[in-house]
Amino acid sequence: MQSDIPQFVEPAEESVAGFPPSSWKYVLTLLGLIIVADKKTFQEEIDTFLEAAVELRAIIDPKLCFTKKMAHDWFKLNKPALEAIIDGPSHDTAICEILTPIKHMPFKLDVISCMVRIAVSDGKYCDVERGLIAKTCLYWKVRSNFQHNLEHIHKPDDTSKLATYLKDLPKYGHIIKTYAGT
């Protein structure tokens, strides 16, 4: 159902910090689920998804050849499968199946931050998006107020808080990592 993107990485080489290229489909699925969660697909969410995918690529594996065009193609190809997960009766089971293979990934906070950015990019933060992010935090054992803090930082019109957060992140990164259990 889902296409694996990382076929553009040398097969014998594993990504940074033991993140195998095959795990990208789970990260992209999490980000894509945020777009389709409210049953509406806004261009702002797609644009933020594309930015987030390329940003995560730079953080997780800078050697990976993955562009916005590739991320867009992945989303278009997998949108029906993402909608089926959201609409399916075993929604929670499907989310656990997505989260399990990447539960030891050291980039959890980056992924969650991108999920929140996508969720608020259209100016609305619906209960389904909030619930999906909360379930991700809960399953990955990321402290719950981390999500709450991100919701306030990533408001669409509040770039000053985001800039302050990004500037202060090196000071507090060790604290966040301690609470996240990574």
Task: Give the Cα separation of 146 and 143 in Å (integer).
Answer: 6
| Domain coordinates in residue numbering, the chain | 6-180
Give me the torsion for CA of 112, 101, 21, 7, rounded to 10°. -110
Kindly report the backbone phi and psi dihedral angles of residue 69, in degrees, each rounded to the nearest multiple of 5, phi listed first: -60, -40
Look-up: residue for tokens 């261009």?
43
pLDDT tens for the 182 residues of the chain, in order: 455 544 444 443 444 556 888 899 999 999 999 999 999 999 999 999 999 999 999 999 888 889 999 999 999 999 999 999 999 999 899 999 999 999 999 999 999 999 999 999 999 899 999 999 999 999 998 875 554 555 554 444 444 444 444 444 444 444 444 444 44
Residue 154 is which amino acid? H
Task: Give the Cα separation of 162 and 101 in Å (integer).
Answer: 30
**What pTM value is reported for the model?**
0.72
Look-up: residue for tokens 């694996």?
4
